[in-house]
Structure 1
Amino acid sequence: MPEGHTVHRLAAAFERGFGGQRVATSSPQGRFSDAAALEGMVLLGAEAVGKHLFLQLAPSADVDPGSPVVRHVHIHLGLYGSWTFAGDPGFAEAHAIGAPRLRVGETEESLATDEAVGTAHWRRLVPRPTVRLRIAGPCGLADLTGPATCEVLDAPGRQAVLDRLGPDPLRPDPDGTGRRRFVDRVRRSRTAIGVQLMNQQVIAGIGNIYRAEALFRARLDPFVPGVDLSRPLLEDLWEDLVALLAYGARTGRIVTTEPEHRDLEARIIERSRGTRQNGDGDADVVPREKSFYVYHRQSLPCRLCGAAVRSQDLAARAVFWCPACQRVRSRRASWTREHPAAAWALTP
C-alpha cells in the first residue's frame, strides 16, 4: 500500500498536469458511474491527507473552492490501486504511482510524441478494461486502476473523511496543533506504539516501512504502550517522521539510513515482488538494500550493533525491529539520537 508521501506526490502531479484545466472523465471499467457527471469540469486542485487523495472539480475555473457546486473525487489506493500517466514531455515525472508498475495501455508503450503525424502518441492509447477512472486534459491523461475507494463527495462528505483521520506530518502545522494531537492521542492509550503508528486515526500517512524505520531511528521498542512514553520522546518521533516523509515526497523514495551506515550489511530479504521504489533503475539513487535499517531485514545483522533483526506480527502486520538497539520502554528512559532528523533531511 502506498504510504503518505506517495499520495502527496500524486496531488502535486495532478496540480501540475491538470490544474486549472477542463478535463474529460470516463470509466472504461464501468464501475465509476459518476464519471459522466464530471465530464468537462475544471480541476481546481488536488489535496493529499494521509493516504487519501481529493481531486476538486467545478463547472468553471472561477468557482470558489468552498462553493457547494465543487465536487471532490475521493480516492484511496489501498493495496492494489495505481495511477498511470501518459502525456507530452514533462507532463508527469513518473509514469506510474501505486501498486502495479505498468504504463497506460494494454502493454508497455512508448510515451514519445509521434513526430511523423504530429500527434502525441498518448492520445491514441486505449485504456485497459480494468481502468476505473480516466482523466484526460490538453497535455496528458491519468488512468486509475484497482483503488480501494473511488467516490464523489460534496464538502460535508469530504470533511467527514478528514474528521476520521489523525494529523498528517506532511501538511502544514505552523502552530504545532498536529504534533500535539499526535502526542496526546498516543499518550492516552495503552496500545503499543507500533500499533498506534499504523492507526490512521492517530497519525495519517504512516505505513509499515515508515513505522519500522522511525521506531528504529528512535531506538524505541515497538511493543511499549503509548502511556509509558514521554511527551519529548513523542515530539521528537513526530519531527523525525516529518523529515522522513518530506524526503520521500521530494524524491519519491523512502530512504531512512544515514550515509555512513548504508554500506554496512547492505542486504535485504526480498519478497517475490521485492520492495520496489521509484527510480530503482537509476544508478544515482540509494538502492533499496541500503535504504532501510530493519524493514525486510529479519534475521540479518543490524547495521549498527550486529544483533539479528527480528520480525513478528503486530496487529496483523509484520513489524521489524532490532532487540538490542530498540530498548527504550519507559518515560524515564533517556532518549538520544546520534543523527538528528534536521541534519538527515538535508542528505540527498
Structure 2
Amino acid sequence: MPEGHSVHRIARQFDRNVVGRRVAASSPQGRFVDGAALLDGREATSVRAVGKQMFLEFDEDVWLRVHLGMYGAWDFAGDIVVDPTIASANGRMGQTNQRGTVLDGEPILDAAGENSLSSIGAPRRARGRVRMSEQTRGLEEETEWPPPVVGQVRLRLLTELTCADLRGPTACQIQTPDEVAATIAKLGPDPLVDDVVEGEERFVSVVRRKPTAIGLLLMDQGVVSGIGNVYRAEMLFRARQNPHTPGRDVPEEVVRDLWRDWVRLLAIGVETGQMMTMDDLDPEAYRAAMASRDDRHWVYHRAGLPCRVCGTSIVVEEAAGRKLYWCPRCQA
C-alpha cells in the first residue's frame, strides 16, 4: 500500500504541474463518469495531502478526494517540472525540487520503480514514456499526445502539457468543503500538516489510553496519519518495541519517540521517494539501499532472515489481515 510519503509527493507533483491550470477530465474506465464530467473544464486551485489521502480543489468549491488504498497509483506523462539533477535519460525521474535519490551527483534508480515520478503510488515499473520539460537540460522523448489510455484508468486529468492517470484507487469521489473537513477531522495527526508538537500530544494521549496493541494502533489512520505496513514494522523495531504491547502499557517516552521517529522518517520518505529506515550508512551501503528495498529495512520483508542486530530469525505473522514483521529478541 502506498504510504504517507508517497501521497505527499503526489500532492507536490500536482501543485507544480496541475494547480493553476484548467483540466480536461474523463473516466476512460467508465467508473467515474459523473465525477469527471463535474471536473471537466475547471481550474485546479489547490491541493493537499493528509496521511494517505489527497484532496485536489477546483474552482467553485469542488473537491476531488482520492485514497489510493492497496493498489492505487497516479501515472504522470508529458511536460513534468523536475529537478534536472535527478532526471534520467530514460524518462524515470525523482521528485520535483527535492534532493531525490542522488549520490555524488548521480541518480540511484530503484528497480521496483519507487523513485519514478512517472508512477507514484503502489510500486510498479514506469508505464510508457515521459516527455520531459526544459528543466531536464534537453532530455526529451517523443511520444503521442495526449498519451494513449493503457489499462483501467479511473480518472484522467489532462492539462495542455501534463497528463495524470489514476488507476486502482480505493476511493475517488467528489466532495464539498464541509465533506472534506469532516473527512480530515476523522484522521490522526500528520507531521507534515499539523503542528508537530500538538500532533505529538494528540498521538500520545490517544495511544496511552488504548488497550489495543501498539502494532495495530500505528496502522489506525484515526490515531496517526500515513503509517502503513512498512513504516509500522520499521518504527517498532527502531524503538525495540514489542508490537503486541497494549498502547496504554507502552512507556510514554517510547510513545513520544515513535512520534518523533515518524516525523523524521516521513520527511526522509518525501525527500527521497524511498521508505529508508536505516541510519548512518556509508555511501556504498546507501547506494545499495536506495536501489533495493532488501537493503533498506531492518525487518520488513525479511521473514526467516537473521536480524541485522542480534541474528535471531525475523518473524512474520498476521495482524488484522496484514503481515507484521518483527524480531522476537530485540523486540521482546
Same-fold call, TM > 0.5?
A: yes
TM norm structure 1: 0.78
Match of 2:147 among 111, 125, 129: 125
Ranked by relative contact order (alpha carbons within 8 Å, sequence separation 6 or more), the top structure is 2
Query: Retained in 1: the 8 A contact 2:131–2:141?
Result: no
For each residue in 1:144-197, what CA deviation from the matched residue of structure 2 results, as whole angstroms up to 9, or x when unmatched?
Answer: 1111110000011111111221111332415x2211111111111111100111
> Which deviates more from structure 2 when the two are superposed, residues 254-263 or residues 164-173?
254-263
Query: Retained in 2: the 8 A contact 1:293–1:303?
Result: yes
The aligned residue for residue 322 of structure 1 is 327
Distance 2:220 2:283 in 1: 30
For each residue in 1:288-347, what CA deviation from the matched residue of structure 2 results, as whole angstroms up to 9, or x when unmatched?
Answer: 2210000011111111111111111112211111111113xxxxxxxxxxxxxxxxxxxx
CA distance 1:317–1:57, shift in 2 (3 Å): same
Instruction: After TM superposition, give the deviation of residue 119 of structure 1 in Å.
Output: 11
Please show how residues 8-157 of structure 1 align to structure 2 within 5 Å: 8-32=8-32, 33-58=34-59, 69-88=60-79, 90=81, 93=95, 94-99=117-122, 101=124, 103=126, 108-109=128-129, 111=131, 121-128=143-150, 130-157=152-179
Q: Percent identity?
A: 44
Distance 1:103 1:39 in 2: 26
The aligned residue for residue 198 of structure 2 is 177
Match for 1:159: what amino acid?
A
TM norm structure 2: 0.82
Query: Retained in 2: the 8 A contact 1:132–1:144?
Result: yes
The aligned residue for residue 242 of structure 1 is 263
Instruction: After TM superposition, give the deviation of residue 225 of structure 1 in Å.
Output: 0.6
Match of 1:256 among 264, 277, 280: 277
Distance 1:238 1:249 in 2: 17
The aligned residue for residue 222 of structure 1 is 243
Q: Which runs of 5+ in 2 are unaligned?
A: 83-92, 96-116, 134-139
SS class of match (1:285): helix
Instruction: After TM superposition, give the deviation of residue 128 of structure 1 in Å.
Output: 2.6
Distance 1:262 1:290 in 2: 13
SS class of match (2:290): coil
Instruction: Write out the 4+ residue segments of structure 1 that deviate beyond 6 Å after TM superposition.
Output: none
> Which deviates more from structure 2 when the two are superposed, residues 317-326 or residues 189-198?
317-326
Query: Retained in 1: the 8 A contact 2:189–2:223?
Result: yes
Distance 1:316 1:262 in 2: 37
Distance 1:211 1:40 in 2: 41
Please show how residues 268-287 of structure 1 align to structure 2 within 5 Å: 285-287=290-292
Query: Retained in 2: the 8 A contact 1:50–1:205?
Result: yes
* Aligned residue pair count: 293
Instruction: After TM superposition, give the deviation of residue 138 of structure 1 in Å.
Output: 2.5
Match of 1:166 among 181, 188, 208: 188
CA distance 1:89–1:188, shift in 2 (3 Å): closer
Q: Which runs of 5+ in 1 are unaligned?
A: 59-68, 267-281, 328-348
